[in-house]
């Protein structure tokens, strides 16, 4: 490629050159057999291969895979790895990301149909920018435009028997409120670079991921990489307004093309890396909470404000809202909640893991025990950002009622948002709201019409469900007992950031476009792989002064380029065991040897 450059920002990834072919001797087989027996008898207690397992893993509740590097390389790919860490690439990457931020692409909750509402047209500008900025990608990959603005890129692999890798991001951003523009340190669509951060709406949610994926693919093409496994890039355009027009149309195309469970893995935006309990944890999201918006309408007689009743519809609605807020959901763990796995990882690996949690954790599995609730209540003390990972949230967000200062309100409406705990159901939210409404209705002689098609009556509390009720997402498998998607993702992260980085299943309190892709693959990860240890915040997403660390952005490009190659080599149907002095599958202490031994099994 001719792209080597002095000046390094990141440690260059190690590469593993292909080993020359050789003919084993009888002495080799004897020594190899002795090595295997030694491993079997080792006091390290390394578990041996079992039919139900596809690979060797570290013992314990939170196994960590060894760093995973692509084994197939070339001078151009090695040069690409070095180039990503260079000053020259930093300047190019900053310019490309800043340019994307400078193209406003907000999506709104009240957008009309695509093609009719002109506010969608900003997406044309962003698509044109991407085409100009990444010429190799657009010359090499097939681009389909789904529902006008959904961008679906396909890099066809040479082996059609391999299920594709799917990488996702969204093109749209949260709108910037006019009243807040003056509060920004740098204008919200300036893409200003201060030497450490790129500032602007979308810089961290999630044009950094959109541009990072495309950067990685552009570099791989330039280095002559030709995939065996098909790579899909699926970019929606209305994730910030529930994704129905973007991901809601893109996902069915892919399911129809590749079939149910037809993709090997899907990685979308999501959790990143955080310092927790004295350790650094990468937390790829493997689950999402459910979602339900409940509309509550209270109808009561109107009249002149000079002759008011003791309580009008606004007062009664206020009482009901107060009752809803006074009866929150309790923290509660269900066995499938990934935060339990994160707690297990902390207990096993982190020096500052709280002793109070460590005492409660071993017995959480006891069926019928109240220990699960005690554990959740103790864990919730860390703060609301932790509590709501295993607690259903309730938030009255929109309220309206009344039309004039001298007229009693006849109709008052409130919209209450709920994010439903993993393991619970939206139907349970409906039942709880109904029971609270009945208490208020009895007090004020109103009827309750709960979640049915009955019309509103003059003295009633009407409960409705807004569209897009969402059950909790299926939980992604996180086994590393084999060549699993989670193992590949984990090994790539530890290759980029080192073995001190721990990987644990994570989840966020929000939802992503992955809600539409559940049928495409069981292996869905919501993960932002870019990491700057000096800046682990959320980057001001959805608020004033959104920004992203350039170091984090570039490390994300490095991750995507390596992950694509690692997935290309991953044999997800078979496990390959390699014994080397730096084996990925066995304890280094058990491998005090200079022999290389490879075998496979089905």
To the question of whether residue 149 is assigned a binding role by annotation, the answer is no
Q: In what order do the strands lie in the sheet with 502-503?
A: 273-276, 279-282, 502-503
- Tell me if the bond preceding 206 is cis, omega within 30° of 0: yes
Q: Which two tokens stand for residue 107?
A: 């999506």
Q: Are strands 460-465 and 502-503 parallel, antiparallel or unpaired?
A: unpaired
Q: Which residue in 54, 81, 215, 239 is the catalytic one?
A: 239
Rounded to whole angstroms, how far apart are CA atoms 123 and 440?
47
In 156-199, where do the E strands start and end?
165-170, 197-199
**Other C-beta atoms within 10 Å of 583: how many?**
18
Residue that the structure tokens 């009752």 belong to: 323
CA distances in angstroms from 336 to 340, 507, 515, listed in the order given: 8, 12, 18
How far is 55 from 485, CA to CA, in rounded Å?
13
Answer yes or no: are the C-beta atoms of 211 and 100 closer than 8 Å: yes
Rounded CA gap, 71 and 569, in Å?
8
Q: How many residues does the chain have?
A: 602
Instruction: Note the helical H segments in 332-467.
Output: 338-349, 355-360, 371-379, 384-387, 426-443
Is 170 annotated among the ligand-binding residues?
A: yes
Burial of residue 473 (number of CB atoms within 10 Å: 0-12, 13-18, 19+): buried
Catalytic residue among 54, 66, 81, 172: 172
Alpha-carbon distance of 268 to 471, in angstroms, equals: 19
Q: Has 172 been annotated as catalytic?
A: yes
Rounded CA separation 420/423 (Å): 8
Was 519 annotated as part of a binding site? no
> Which residue in this structure is represented by tokens 């608020």?
543
Task: Answer yes or no: are the C-beta atoms of 448 and 441 closer than 8 Å.
Answer: yes
CB atoms closer than 10 angstroms to residue 468? 14
Is 268 marked as a binding-site residue?
A: yes
For this structure, is 378 an active site residue? no
CA 455 to chain centroid:
40
Question: Is 205 flagged in the annotation as binding?
Answer: yes
CA distances 93 to 99, 102, 184, 334, Å, are 10, 14, 23, 43
Torsion of CA 15, 17, 18, 21, to 10 degrees: -150
Whole-number Å distance between alpha carbons of 205 and 269:
8
Q: Is 575 exposed, middle or buried (0-12, 13-18, 19+ CB in 10 A)?
A: buried
Question: Looking only at Cα atoms, what is the longest distance across the chain?
Answer: 105
Binding residue numbers for Zn(2+)? 170, 205, 240, 268, 542
Q: Which residues are known to be catalytic?
A: 172, 239
Residues placed in the known binding site = 170, 205, 240, 268, 542
């Amino acid at each position: 490629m001719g792209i080597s450059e002095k000046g390094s920002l990141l440690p260059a990834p190690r590469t593993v050159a292909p080993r020359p072919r050789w003919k084993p001797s009888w002495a080799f087989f004897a020594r190899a057999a002795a090595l295997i027996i030694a491993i079997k008898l080792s006091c390290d207690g390394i578990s041996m291969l079992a039919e139900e397992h596809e690979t060797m893993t570290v013992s314990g509740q939170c196994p960590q895979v060894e760093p995973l590097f692509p084994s197939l390389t070339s001078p151009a790919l090695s040069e690409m790895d070095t180039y990503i860490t260079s000053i020259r690439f930093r300047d190019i990457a900053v310019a490309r990301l800043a340019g994307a931020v400078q193209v406003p692409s907000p999506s709104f909750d009240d957008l009309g149909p695509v093609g009719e509402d002109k506010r969608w047209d900003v997406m044309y500008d962003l698509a044109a920018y991407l085409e100009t900025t990444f010429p190799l990608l657009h010359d090499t990959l097939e681009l389909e435009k789904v529902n006008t603005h959904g961008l679906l890129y396909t890099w066809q692999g040479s082996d059609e028997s391999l299920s594709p890798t799917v990488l996702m991001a969204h093109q749209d951003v949260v709108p910037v409120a006019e009243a807040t523009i003056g509060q920004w340190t740098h204008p919200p669509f300036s893409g200003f670079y201060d030497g450490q951060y790129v500032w602007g709406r979308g810089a961290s949610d999630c044009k950094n991921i959109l541009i990072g994926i495309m950067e990685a693919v552009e570099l791989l093409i330039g280095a002559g990489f030709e995939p065996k496994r098909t790579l899909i890039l699926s970019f929606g355009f209305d994730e910030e307004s529930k994704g129905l027009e973007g991901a809601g149309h893109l996902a069915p195309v892919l399911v129809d093309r590749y079939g149910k469970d037809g993709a090997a893995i899907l990685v979308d935006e999501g959790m990143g890396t955080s310092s927790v309990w004295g350790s650094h944890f990468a937390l790829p999201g493997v689950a999402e909470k459910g979602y339900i918006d409940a509309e509550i309408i209270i109808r009561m007689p109107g009249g002149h404000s000079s002759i008011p009743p003791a309580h009008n519809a606004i007062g009664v609605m206020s009482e009901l809202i107060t009752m809803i807020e006074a009866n929150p959901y309790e923290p509660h763990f269900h066995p499938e909640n990934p935060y339990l796995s994160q707690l297990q990882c902390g207990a096993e690996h982190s020096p500052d893991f709280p002793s109070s949690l460590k005492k409660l954790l071993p017995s959480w599995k006891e069926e019928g025990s109240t220990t699960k609730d005690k554990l959740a209540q103790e864990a919730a003390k860390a703060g609301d950002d932790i509590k709501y990972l295993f607690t259903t949230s309730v938030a009255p967000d929109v309220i309206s009622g009344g039309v004039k200062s001298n007229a009693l309100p006849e109709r008052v409406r409130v919209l209450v948002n709920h994010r439903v705990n993993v393991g619970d159901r939206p139907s349970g939210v409906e039942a709880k709201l109904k029971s609270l409404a009945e208490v208020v209705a009895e007090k004020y002689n109103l009827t309750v019409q709960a979640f049915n098609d009955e019309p509103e009556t003059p003295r009633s509390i009407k409960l409705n469900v807004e569209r897009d009720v969402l059950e909790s997402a299926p939980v992604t498998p996180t086994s590393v007992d084999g060549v699993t998607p989670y193992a590949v993702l984990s090994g790539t992260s530890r290759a980029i950031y080192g073995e001190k980085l721990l990987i644990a299943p994570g989840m966020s309190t929000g939802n992503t476009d992955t809600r539409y892709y559940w049928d495409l693959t069981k292996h869905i990860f919501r993960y932002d792989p870019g990491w700057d240890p000096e800046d682990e915040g959320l980057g001001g997403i959805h608020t004033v002064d959104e920004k992203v660390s350039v170091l984090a952005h570039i490390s994300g490009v490095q991750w995507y380029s390596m992950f694509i190659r690692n997935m290309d080599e991953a044999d997800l149907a078979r496990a390959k065991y390699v014994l080397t002095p730096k084996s990925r599958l066995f304890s280094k202490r058990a491998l005090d040897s200079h022999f290389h031994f490879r075998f496979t099994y089905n």
